[in-house]
Amino acid sequence: MEEYGVLSRFAWKAVTTVPDSNLSWISGQLSLDDLRALERVTIQMSNQRGITLTHLLASWKAHVEKLESDISLPSSDRSVWGAHDLIAALIIRDSIQDGLGALDAPLRSRFDSLLSEVDERFTSFTEPDALLRIEKVHARPEGEREWWWKRIPAAGPAREEVILYSGLD
């Protein structure tokens, strides 16, 4: 698979198209100074391109919302997201984590509040995955992965695909 720095081509496309509503959600909760500071924190995705923490957070939120909304849909619905979309979301979450160290403590605290809100939503429709199925589907040697890689949707098409592709029931 072609890679763009930290993000696969699947995640790259997804993170560069962020709904305005998610950017508004962020801008509605932070000061103008905070937003300016966040726009200065860019995660390099390729030699020519970087993405700001603001856009990464908005993309993480959009991915979580879409994955959650797909839970009740049948796998036959062509609009549902699957295992690779879930992996793209997790890679985006990794990229956010990579950028947190660039924030000063007060801004980090305010940003963490927003991030926690999305993380909590993610945990609300996922469950611990003791078999680490997602790591088997996305088998890249990256050392210890963060908690979000150790969760799987509790139901729905993305879960079904992860189980299928991992070969673990």
Q: Is the Cβ–Cβ distance between 43 and 6 less than 8 Å?
A: yes
Residue-range domain boundaries for the chain: 3-166
Residues 5, 141: Cα–Cα separation, whole Å: 15
DSSP single-letter state for residue 87: H
pLDDT of 53-97, one tens digit each? 999 999 999 999 999 999 999 999 999 999 999 999 999 999 999
Q: Which neighbouring-strand residues pair with 3? A: 8
pLDDT band at 152 (very low <50, low <70, confident <90, very high): very high
Kind of pairing between the strands at 42-44 and 7-8: unpaired
Q: Is the Cβ–Cβ distance between 11 and 92 less than 8 Å?
A: yes
Task: Please name which of 152, 150, 145 lies closest in space to residue 125, comparing C-alpha atoms.
Answer: 152
Q: Is the Cβ–Cβ distance between 101 and 65 less than 8 Å?
A: no
DSSP single-letter state for residue 101: G
pLDDT band at 9 (very low <50, low <70, confident <90, very high): very low
DSSP single-letter state for residue 147: G
pLDDT of 100-112, one tens digit each? 999 999 999 999 9
- Contacts of residue 30, defined as CB under 8 A and 6 or more positions apart, other chains included, come to 38, 110, 111, 114
Which is higher by pLDDT, 151 or 16? 151
pLDDT of 23-43, one tens digit each? 888 989 999 999 999 999 999
pLDDT of 110-119, one tens digit each? 999 999 999 9
Spell out a b/e string for 68-100, using b for 16 or more CB atoms within 10 Å of the CB, else e. bebbeeeeeeeebbbbbbbbbbbbbbbbbeebe
Question: Would you state the structure tokens that stand for residue 143, as one six-digit string?
Answer: 């050392």
